[in-house]
Amino acid sequence: MAKLNVNGTVREFEAEDDTPLLWVLREQLGLTGTKYGCGIAQCGACTVHIDGEPTRTCVRPVSTVTAAQKIVTIEGLSKDGSHPVQKAWAALDVPQCGFCQSGMIMAAAALLKQKPKPTDADIDSAMTNICRCGTYNRVRAAIKVVAKGGDVKSAGLAIERIAGSKA
């Protein structure tokens, strides 16, 4: 059996060499937070980290990943949603439908790890994920909130929670 190091645990799987990593993660390892979007590595819904680098898994053959490489999925970013990017996403109500958001969060987390104080150009370069709902302004604001230490008011978005709402 082949092995992958996913979220800090070595996991065994059986798949053809050309099977996309995405399908091994979702179908065999049960990690369904990583989504299938386009199948051609354009939308970014399938983004995970491999050795800290954001990687689109829908076109990455599982045979190209070794057991020594560390894969982190959205489930491994934090167990309870406490990663600063996840907290900023929730505080600024970034997701609408939410489908692309795990890939967006993974791309943003990788950017902030590499560049803790990213410029707008850095954000534009790193955040190439596609969001059908068009939440790009909120994505940028959430990244800037994390870069500023988590001060949601610094985002400049007029978001007001209504008592009793699920948001």
Tens of pLDDT, residues 62-99? 999 999 999 999 999 998 999 999 999 999 999 888 88
Q: Compute CA distances 47 → 40, 72, 150, 154, 162, whole Å.
A: 12, 10, 24, 28, 33
* Burial of residue 94, with CB atoms counted within 10 A of its CB: 0-12 exposed, 13-18 middle, 19 or more buried: buried
Full set of structural domains in the chain with CATH = 2-77 (3.10.20.30), 84-154 (1.10.150.120)
Beta bridge partners of 70: 5
Length in residues, the chain: 167
pLDDT mean over 111-124: 97
Of 29-43, 48-62, 119-133, 151-165, the least confident? 151-165
Asked whether residue 162 carries a pLDDT value surpassing 60, the answer given is no
Asked whether residue 120 carries a pLDDT value surpassing 60, the answer given is yes
Helix axis angle for 101-114 and 84-91, nearest 10°, is 130
Beta bridge partners of 61: 20
Which two tokens mark 109? 């987390």
55: Cβ contacts below 8 Å, ≥ 6 apart: 21, 47, 48, 49
- Residue 151's pLDDT is 81
Asked whether residue 149 carries a pLDDT value surpassing 80, the answer given is yes
What's the pLDDT tens digit per position in 7-58? 999 999 999 999 999 999 999 999 999 999 999 999 999 999 999 999 999 9
Of residues 158 and 65, more confidence is placed in: 65
Angle, CA of 63, 67 and 69, to the nearest 5° = 95
pLDDT mean over 105-115: 98
Query: What are the counts of helices (DSSP H) followed by strands (DSSP E) for the chain?
Result: 6, 5
Alpha-carbon span 28 to 15, nearest angstrom: 9
